Structure 1
Amino acid sequence: MGHAAMKHANPYAGLVGSLTPGELDLLSDAVEEHRLREEVGFGTLAEAAELYRPSPRCPRCGSGPAWGDGFEPSGVRRWRRPSCGARFTSLTGTVLEGCRKPLATWVSFIRLALFAVPLDACAEMCRISHHTAWEWRHRLFAAVDGYQDRIVLRGRVWVDETYVNDTDLSHGYGQARKRGLSKQKVCIAVGIDARKEPVAVVCGHGKPSSARIRRAMGAHVAKGATLVHDRERAHNVLVRENSLEDESYKADVRDPAYLEAMALVNNLCSWIKRYLWRFTGMDPKNLQSYLNLYVYLFRVKRGGERWPKVARVVRHLLMTDATFRS
């Protein structure tokens, strides 16, 4: 029995046991850095910046390339532009600018974001403060701001609406809930096509008007597509103005034809609501940011077999011109 136990003993247990807490943290960071490098080809922010921002443009005058000007203590390259006097780093102008934590910690946060883990759990599992976790979530929001603007649904396109309670006091939060689609509920216009390209846009309060549907979805549906919907009258503006083929079904949960025809968008609505329910206490002003992040991560996970999810998100954070100010 003793021999079997010795045979399976971890040869590094003694080494780790002799380390101080500070040394153990350094060892953990080195292990995570090595593991990340093996997985995606870079282990530090400096290495990722060299890969995705090898010659950044000047944030002051927009010119490039700049001259090399040494390195930050973290290894991130510094740059300067003699013509305008600007000095900056490879992370300037990105949402990762000013981050002091190792990239491996950011990657852990990204992995948790992919599963919509609540903020307190993210802070605990990444060993960061709640304020830092809040800030990192808003850095992600900044990186995906406007992300949906360029998404156009084509071919067969399903649209519907889903509703969530508005927690803003000015919209009746805390008062008796009205029945039906009242102004106390936020409307989210949802669309998806046969390629499983999703769109989710805040569409005001209560039952949507034609004008609100036009603003929310008009630019997201390609001309000549087939619109599959539930006979909501506000959808007619899309059919008319985008020259769409109209395929509609009466909304009746007892009708198998309706359930089958609308299953794709109904499932998407359901998943969006489950996603939003995870963020108790969410500021309603940030609802569109949460939806932008959901759509972005939906597409990241959908393409995970072709492109490692972590590498894709880190690349997006580094190559998107976006900043965060606390």
Structure 2
Amino acid sequence: MPKKNACAARVAAMTDDEFTELAAAVDERRCRDEYGFGTYAEAAALYRPDPACPSCGAAEPSRDGWSESGLQRYRCESCGTRFNSLTGTVLEHCRKELATWVGFVNLMRFNVPLDAAAETCRVTHQTAWEWRHRIFAAVDGCQERIVLKDRVWIDETYVNDTDLAHGYGEARKRGLSKQKLCIAVAIDVHKNPVAVVCGHGKPSAKRIRDGLQSHIAEGSTIVGDKEKSHDSLVRAVKGTHEAYRADVGDPVYLERMSLVNNLCSWLKRYLWRFTGMDPKNLQSYLNWYVYLFRVNQARDRWPETERVVRHLLMTDARFHSST
């Protein structure tokens, strides 16, 4: 005979309000046990103990009491601005418990569709959409700092532009038409990736150079197909060029280009999960993919979800509803 749950009768006797409070307390406890923090105040004390003034940037503001939720308040000695430990982050003004946010981050790590994430976290679709773009706002600058080096593979992949201005609802044209968005993709021997939107249709040498030059260290060996638009990039980074004719029947080409070809394939599978996405947000989705790629690489040092939450707290970023 199965052992009876000693708490079942007490839980069954609770009012709806009591049960809601209990569920929130359980989620908070579980979050604290797993990640080391259960509330915004605890997380902010851990990862944002001495924030700079969000108005003037002055360091070491004076402590100015506590908010009702337990957040530390500060007052800037330079400009007089009053703020708390979450001011200037994407978690500012969040009304849901931190445990709900952590659950949403977990779902975003696996790129769960928005409707499923909203239902699982018990929030509206609009709230889930806003949370997704708050997270995007926090990680959007991360890819800008990535510089690939030594041996770098580059290629392009294409996705359909669903914007009405670029042929949505019309018969799809063959080849690399203006109905397709180009994504320039690069990955180095150290498994660091980059993915940058490069406009519509087949990219020019200038678009490839503008998209990737800042991400490739000088003197690197660039490996790609014999696309002429790559030559300008190779010259710009003062690198060497190792080129192979794109032929899926050539085992040498498939072997030498497998790393970047696989990355292109992974990116497409990732983007297929977001059918109907606004094309103007495509770069943010790519930034999130690259960010997660790097988070997963460091999972031995940082648990993935904890690292994302830490990043949200330590990064000064704001969400704008026009995103």
Quick one: which amino acid aligns to residue 215 of structure 2?
A: H
| Structure-2 residue corresponding to 1:20 | 15
| Shift in CA distance, 155/82, structure 1 to aligned 2, threshold 3 Å | closer
**Is the 2:64–2:72 Cα contact (8 Å) retained in structure 1?**
yes
**How much does 1:10 deviate?**
2.1
Please state whether the residue corresponding to 1:164 is helix, strand or coil.
strand
Pair 1:194 & 2:189 matched = yes
Pair 1:10 & 2:1 matched = no
**Is the 2:139–2:287 Cα contact (8 Å) retained in structure 1?**
yes
243-252 or 74-83: which moved more? 74-83
**How much does 1:285 deviate?**
0.6
Give the one of 204, 207, 230 matched to 2:202.
207
Q: What TM-score does the superposition give when structure 1 sets the normalisation length?
A: 0.95
| Structure-1 residue corresponding to 2:282 | 287
Give the one of 54, 63, 67 matched to 1:59.
54
193-202 or 234-243: which moved more? 234-243
**Is the 2:213–2:237 Cα contact (8 Å) retained in structure 1?**
yes
CA distance in 1, matches of 2:187, 2:164: 32
| Structure-2 residue corresponding to 1:108 | 103
**How much does 1:307 deviate?**
0.6
CA distance in 1, matches of 2:187, 2:114: 28
Give the one of 238, 263, 267 matched to 1:268.
263
Q: Deviations over 1:248-306 (max 9, x none)?
A: 11111111111111111111111111111111211111010111111111111221121
| Structure-2 residue corresponding to 1:310 | 305
Pair 1:76 & 2:87 matched = no
CA distance in 1, matches of 2:13, 2:191: 53
Give the one of 79, 85, 96 matched to 1:90.
85
**Is the 2:58–2:78 Cα contact (8 Å) retained in structure 1?**
no
| Structure-2 residue corresponding to 1:245 | 240
**How much does 1:84 deviate?**
2.2
| Structure-2 residue corresponding to 1:258 | 253
| Structure-1 residue corresponding to 2:318 | 323
Q: What TM-score does the superposition give when structure 2 sets the normalisation length?
A: 0.96
**How much does 1:199 deviate?**
0.3
| Structure-2 residue corresponding to 1:222 | 217
**Is the 2:136–2:288 Cα contact (8 Å) retained in structure 1?**
yes
Quick one: which amino acid aligns to residue 90 of structure 1?
A: S
**How much does 1:82 deviate?**
4.6
20-29 or 145-154: which moved more? 20-29
Give unmatched runs, 5+ long, in structure 2: none
Please state whether the residue corresponding to 1:288 is helix, strand or coil.
helix
CA distance in 1, matches of 2:244, 2:59: 55
CA distance in 2, matches of 1:238, 1:298: 25
Pair 1:172 & 2:167 matched = yes
**How much does 1:64 deviate?**
2.3
Give unmatched runs, 5+ long, in structure 1: none
**How much does 1:212 deviate?**
0.2
Identity among equivalent positions (%) equals: 65
Quick one: which amino acid aligns to residue 274 of structure 2?
A: F
CA distance in 1, matches of 2:105, 2:304: 9
Instruction: State the number of aligned residues.
Output: 321
